[in-house]
Every structure is written in structure tokens, then in C-alpha cells.
Amino acid sequence: MDLHSHTYRHSYPYHKKHPSVTVTKKRSVDDLEEADLRGKRVLVRVELNDSSKIPATAPTIQYLINHGARVILCGHLGGHGDEVTPSSLRDVAPVLSQVIGTTVVMASGCIGEEVEEMVAALQDGDIVLLENVRMYKEEVENDHCFAEKLASLADLYVNDAFQTTSLAHASTLGVTKFLRPAVAGLTMKKELDYLVGVASHLSRPFAAIVGGSKLSSKWELIEALLDKVDILLLGGEMIFTFDKALGRSVGSSLVEEHMFDLARSILKKAKDKKQVSVHSIPNGWRGVDMGSCTIYMYACHLAVAKTILWIGAMGASNISIGTDAVAKLLAELSDKGATTVVAEGVSIASLERLGVADKMSHISIGGVTTTALLQGSSLPSLLALDDAV
């Protein structure tokens, strides 16, 4: 057995009745008609922090300009507190212009007289991009005065940056105190339709695959899923924390000793647990990826699933055998009619590299926000949007 090509996974299948999760549906931009939009200034919070997500902004923007709105785009590139220095969005404006198919004019800031004059000059169907909102420290502080000034540029608000809804920032939460309607964009609507469906109205058996390197970053999600899923497959390097907590030898594999009590608690909550492909790892060896036995056992358990959620990598950093195997497996199950929802970058990158991304029912771009929604955490900027009638 080549221990360099194996890690060891646990599967905890259990089948029982689960109550539905009630999530209030939000109004979206396509609930607004031309009479609501023509000639109106619309502040649109968009996701610009990742170039791969920029095309996802197009449907909402196209809907607005096609209905005569005057669009004011607001976003960020880097910058969150003291973590990353914010960068100018000037190079993003021409990319947006190409994606949308019309000119996007760049503003010099987010507030102030010059920006106000630029917005006042907009005609129906025009688009202006405000400078990186995180260049203002008041943004992450959700400063009331800053939010009011930002909101004063517009008549209504659209949030299409799903990944920011877990943040209580001025451009995501503060402005909603001054602008109505305040609705979700089309990309956010798509995210919510699938993710709320996963949490509430899904076809069973419902299986979840959760990977990653550290249990400390996934334990809340795992505990939340325990009450929702029929089959839970845990993978990634975090599995060695479970193994070590149970007294198994894991060699020099990654473990978080401070998580041992929580690991044992999770295992106790997973009733009727069944362990898959468990081996001892000699001292000096480290488990880094899934082996063929574990992959086979995953396939056996997932074969009966009608809905499958996958979050997180199956192996150590830069090792993709297990992650790619799960990607191929989900593609096969999608072809057989299973609903497949995938979140987090490593999983998505594997799907794209293998050319099977289009086989998934939904690929979430929400990252940690997707996880937060599924584990029942509060998303303040989502809650602030108008409820559907």
C-alpha cells in the first residue's frame, strides 16, 4: 500500500426524517418592471474581487439597462480592514465594458461633488463604475454618514454580490436603511434558489461531502449538516484530527489537537456511524490524499443519493487525485439524474480542469458565504433585502 497516495475517510450514513428549513424568499431585480426602473438611478453592489466572477455581473446589469435604468456599479478589489491593500477599479471598467457590450464610465471616487455630478449626467441605459468602495475606511465600519452619502446617489438598490452578504458593510447593509426597493440581483437569486433548495426542498437521499485541511474551519458546517443530510462523507486532511481523537495512529499527518473533544462530539452525534477505509499510518508517514479503496466506498454510498453537496478538497494542497476522483464521480451521477451542488474554489477548479463543470446542477461562487448560509449563520446584508411578496 502506497501511503503517500492514501488518506483515510469516514462515512456516516444515516437515514431519518428531517424538518424543512424555512428561509424567507427575497425580492429580486426581475420582480421590478420597466415602470419601476426607467429613468431611475440604481446602485448595484457587484462582485469584482475575482476576475472570474465579473461575467456573472452581466445578467443583472443587462436587465437594468434594457429597462431604462441608470446604473451605478459599486464593488471592491482587495482591502478588508488591514488585511489587503485595496486596488483601483480603473482596469476593471474596460473589462466590464467588454462583458456587458456597452461603455462603462469610471468615477474618481464613491462619494463627493464630482461623483454626484457624474451620476446626475447619466442618461437611461448609462453605466458608471464607482471607485473601490474599500478605499474608504468607513465602508468596513458600516459608517452611517458614509452609507447615507453613498445611498444618496441612487433611487433604489440591487445587491448582486452574494459573497458579501455575510458582511455588515456600508455598501451591503448600511445603504439599505436609505434605499427602497432593495432587492437581490440575478446571480444572487440563482445562488439562493439552489442553496435554499438544498437546505429545504430537496430530493432524498441527501448526501454531503465536506473536505478541507482543518476541522476548525468546517466544524460548524459539519454540525449543521448532521441534522439535514442522510449521508455525510468527511474528507481532506481534517479527517486525521478525527482519527487521532479516536486514538488511531496518523503518523505525521496534519492534526489539530485542540479540536479533539469537538471531533469526538461530532462522531457521537452521528448516529449509526459506519467507518470507511480506516488504516493506521506508521510514524514518519503522512496521509495526503484518497486511495482507490476510499474512492470506491465514496462511489458506493453516493450511488443512492438524489441530491449531493460538495464543499472542500479531498487531499493536501496541490495534490488532486482524490479531489479529481470526486469531481468525475459527481459528473457521472449528474448524468444519471442526481442534483449536484458544488462550492469552494479547489473543488470548482478541479471541475473546470477536467471539463465537467457544466455537468453540475449548480456551482456556487459564494465561498464562505455559501457555507454560512448552509450552516444557518446570519447573513445581515441578505436579511436587509426586501422579502418577496
Q: Cell match 473589462: residue?
A: 95
Helix residue ranges per DSSP H, the chain: 34-37, 58-66, 92-100, 113-120, 137-140, 144-151, 186-199, 219-226, 239-245, 260-269, 292-302, 321-335, 345-354, 368-374, 380-383
> Considering only CA atoms, which of 317, 276, 297, 306 is closest in space to residue 208?
306
List of residues 6+ apart from 327 with CB closer than 8 A:
347, 350, 351, 354, 356
Asked whether residue 287 is marked as a ligand-binding residue, the answer is yes
181: preceding bond cis by omega (within 30 degrees) = yes
Output the nine-digit C-alpha cell for 132.
473601490
Residues 61, 62, 66, 71, Cα dihedral to 10°: 20
| Cα Rg, the chain, nearest whole Å | 23
Tell me if 269 is assigned to a ligand binding site.
no
Strands 274-275 and 231-234: unpaired
The three three-digit cell numbers of residue 31, written as one number: 420582480
Helix (H) and strand (E) counts in the chain: 15, 13
Amino acid at 232: L
Q: What are phi and psi of 313, to 5 degrees?
A: -75, 155
- Residue 20 half-sphere exposure toward CB, CA atoms < 13 A: 9
Q: Which positions ≥6 away from 168 have C-beta within 8 Å?
A: 142, 380, 381
Q: Are 76 and 49 in contact (CB under 8 A)?
A: yes
Name the strand (E) or helix (H) holding 246. Answer: none
Q: Which residues are annotated as a binding site?
A: 218, 287
Q: Which residues are annotated as a binding site for ATP?
A: 218, 287
